[in-house]
Copies of this chain bind each other. A is one copy, B any other.
Amino acid sequence: MTSSVGVVTPQRMRFDQPLPLQSGAQLPAYELVYETYGTLNAQRSNAVLVCHALNASHHVAGLHADDPKSLGWWDNMVGPGKPVDTDRFFVIGVNNPGSCFGSTGPMHTNPATGRPWGADFPVCTVEDWVDAQARLIEALGIRQLAAVLGGSLGGMQAQAWALRYPERLRHCVAVATAPNLSAQNIAFNEVARRAIVTDPDFHGGHFYAHGVVPKRGLRVARMIGHITYLSDDSMEAKFGRELRDAELHFSTQDIEFQIESYLRYQGDKFSEYFDANTYLLITRALDYFDPARAHGGDLARAYAAAKAIRFLLVSFTTDWRFSPARSREIVKALVDNRADVSYAEIDAPHGHDAFLLEDPRYLAVMRAYFERIAADVTPGARA
Contacts and interface: CB of A to CB of B under 8 A. Distances in A.
Interface in A254-271: 256-257, 259-260, 263-264, 267
Interface string A247-286: 0101111001101100110010000000001001101100
Nearest to A288: B248
Contacts of A253: 119, 193, 197, 280
A241 B290 contact: yes
B259 A183 contact: yes
A74 interface: no
Contact of A232 (B184, B241, B256): B184
Contact of A252 (B123, B232, B248, B250): B123
A59 to B, nearest CB: 25
Interface string A204-223: 00000000000010011001
Contacts of A31: none
A216 B199 CA distance: 8
Contact of A223 (B182, B191, B223, B230): B191
Nearest to A251: B123
Interface in A128-165: none
Contact of A257 (B186, B232, B252): B186
A27 to B, nearest CB: 13
B219 A187 contact: no
A252 B190 contact: no
Given A223-B194, A250-B123, A257 B182 contact: no
Contacts of A288: 248, 250, 256
17 contacts: A23-B248, A24-B250, A25-B250, A123-B251, A182-B236, A183-B235, A184-B236, A187-B263, A190-B259, A191-B224, A197-B253, A198-B216, A198-B219, A200-B200, A252-B281, A252-B284, A257-B287
